[in-house]
Amino acid sequence: MKVVLINGSRREKGCTYTALSEIAKVLNGNGIDTEIFHVGLKAVNGQINEIVKEVAEAMETADAMIVGSPVYYASPSGEVIAFLDRLFTTAEDVLTLKPAASIASARRAGTTATLDVLNKYFMYAQMPVISSRYWNMVHGSNPDDVMKDEEGLQIMRTIGTNMSWILKSIETGRKYGVEQPIIEDKIFTNFIR
């Protein structure tokens, strides 16, 4: 089993990475592989098409996705939004029904608004949203701050534990004949016709 981790920060090894790493430790300890993609950095360097393609390919075989973003002006980073807009438009089929979680890293405020934006992508693609014991956030301006945020780190570990439990439950269910839901053809209306 594998979980794809998305670092929406331009900083490769900043706070978001530190929080994602805490989740990865728990997943790895439960025998689940992880692969991290530095989406924010690639997007800001003009490589958005490449990173969308790389992640879409990884999601063909991965079982779940966790998206992390720093808070920029009380929202997810522009880079991660641009990435998710393209990924969900072009590769919804490799995401559908796979569990997902979002996390936010902020110095101070804007975390719940950020989580709200991120979770809406998952809901669009029928992805079960994995929760923790508070809202999925850490606080800090640098990785040392995050490592001092004991509550935040516990929230991250709990995401890892809950994600492991859901993935193993799905795998066990499949072995015993619990199939994925049949997806109806999409009805697509607007308010004009």
Ligand X SMILES: Cc1cc2nc3c(=O)[nH]c(=O)nc-3n(C[C@H](O)[C@H](O)[C@H](O)COP(=O)(O)O)c2cc1C
Residues making contact with ligand X (CB under 6 A): 9, 11, 14-16, 70-74, 105-110, 140-141
Cβ nearer to ligand X, comparing 63 with 149 = 149
Cα separation values, 109 from 2, 79, 153, Å: 32, 19, 17
Least separation in angstroms between residue 59's CB and ligand X is 22
Burial code (b: 16+ CB inside 10 Å, e: under 16) for 33-44 equals ebebbbbbbbbe
Least separation in angstroms between residue 31's CB and ligand X is 27
Cβ nearer to ligand X, comparing 73 with 191 = 73
State the DSSP string of 85-104. HHHHHH-GGGTTT--EEEEE
Least separation in angstroms between residue 142's CB and ligand X is 7
Q: 37 forms bridges with which residues in the sheet?
A: 6
Least separation in angstroms between residue 37's CB and ligand X is 14
Cβ nearer to ligand X, comparing 83 with 170 = 83
Cβ nearer to ligand X, comparing 106 with 167 = 106
Q: 76 forms bridges with which residues in the sheet?
A: 71
